Structure 1
Amino acid sequence: MSFESAITFFIAIFIFGITPGPGVFAILAKAMVEGSRRCFMLALGMTCSDIIYLTLACLGLATIAEHWSGLFTLIRWVGAAYLIYLGFKLFTSKPHIDPTTASVAKRSSLEFIQGFLISASNPKVILFYIAFLPTFMDLGALDHNDIALAAGLTLFALMLGLMLIAFCAHWASKRLQSPTAMKRLNQSAGSIMMGAGVYLVSRS
């Protein structure tokens, strides 16, 4: 991959990362209520899942999307159920800072898994990379360095895009500090997260 191709690849992945979807909606909802820092492991989980798909696409294992369709369906339902559960808890929570913070700490170890499930639930991502990668590299002549470079660029681009979204969402939410505003914020964030879960379930 040339320097020019690497730059173009990075920009394209960045745009792909901030395109609205279940992952972006989950980041928005979490950042609005819990802050941008709490989104790091969630974003990292989504990014790692994408990198796995990218690597599989580079290795020519596209048939995995068909052969493991049952597994992807199970992952999608688990991820959707968890999103709806978290969204419902946000929607019904009281606008107090301390209890919210405590509940966040208890589930911090699940944030990476949640992010991974959100992204892994969509086997069509691997098809995107299969169609996308030949624009920037010859898939028939790849070596380990090319795959490592593509994975590194994807990691940086996706994390940058997702954390930028998280920062902007948190910045906007800080302007809403009254109890009424916090209640509406929780309800809005919860609705977004539940909507992302419903989208995962309804997607073919």
Structure 2
Amino acid sequence: MSLHVWWIYVTAVFLISATPGPNMLHVMTQSIAHGPRRALATMAGLMSAVLLCLVASALGLGAVLKASPRLFDLLRYAGVAYLVWLGIKAWRAPVGVPDGTPARSRSDGALYATGLLTGLSNPKLIVFAAALFPQFIDMTRPFWTQLAILIASFVAIESFWYAMYALGGAHLARWLAPANRQRLFNRGTALLFIGFGGALLGARA
């Protein structure tokens, strides 16, 4: 995996992680209810779920890809299609503020468990990782080293956005309250996803 390909991967994950989703909205609501410091337990639970999904996706992925180069290419193109689908979904996303009810004071263990269960409720991350990783792995180089770099980069970027949503969640929710701003944000994100998917068609891992 070249530095150029790694930068493409980092850019894609950065944009994908920035997009409001169940995990980010959970961090935001927990930060509003308990404060950014207490939300660290929630973020730890969510990140544990992300790591479990990524590792589950990686188990057996190397053997499958090495045994079937054609499957490698199919997964690569499936990843492109998935990014385009994310763009279409973002473009068509309805506007409106999620109904988040502040929770009562809870222990760090309870916040961690809730974050873990919230993260594990989205098994699509495993499919996403299996479709995305093959596009950035050079099969002529050590597989597990590259995979470790991809997972570490994913975790670092995801953690950054957890922190951003925790610290600025209340302000972000207020700024995105008007429907026109939500619509602009959704469509801008959609164009980025679709454009990145198109760019990947010309990039070889």
Contact 2:137–2:147 at 8 Å: present in 1 too?
no
Q: How many residues align?
A: 137
Equivalent position amino acid for 1:169 in 2: G
Contact 2:27–2:39 at 8 Å: present in 1 too?
yes
Q: In 1, distance between residues paired with 2:167 and 2:27?
A: 10
Contact 1:33–1:170 at 8 Å: present in 2 too?
no
Answer 1 or 2: which has greater helix percent.
1
Instruction: Give me the identity figure in percent.
Output: 24
Q: TM-score, normalised by structure 2?
A: 0.57
Shift of 1:18: 2.6
Q: In 1, distance between residues paired with 2:60 and 2:140?
A: 9
State yes or no: 1:55 paired with 2:61: no
Alignment match, 2:38: 38
For the residue of structure 1 that corresponds to 2:161, the secondary structure is helix
Alignment match, 1:162: 162
Alignment match, 1:132: 132
Alignment match, 2:116: 116
Alignment match, 1:152: 152
Q: In 1, distance between residues paired with 2:59 and 2:142?
A: 9
Q: In 1, distance between residues paired with 2:24 and 2:171?
A: 16
Equivalent position amino acid for 1:20 in 2: P
Q: TM-score, normalised by structure 1?
A: 0.57
How large is the RMSD of aligned CA atoms in angstroms?
Answer: 2.9
Give 1:81-100 correspondences, 5 Å limit: 90=102
Contact 2:36–2:166 at 8 Å: present in 1 too?
yes
For the residue of structure 1 that corresponds to 2:38, the secondary structure is helix
For the residue of structure 2 that corresponds to 1:37, the secondary structure is coil
Q: In 2, distance between residues paired with 1:60 and 1:159?
A: 26
After superposition, the Cα gap between the structure-2 partners of 1:120 and 1:3, relative to the gap in structure 1 and judged at 3 Å, is same
CA offset digits 1:152-182 (Å, max 9, x no partner): 1111000001111111125579xxxxxxxxx
Structure 2 unpaired stretches of 5+:
62-99, 174-205
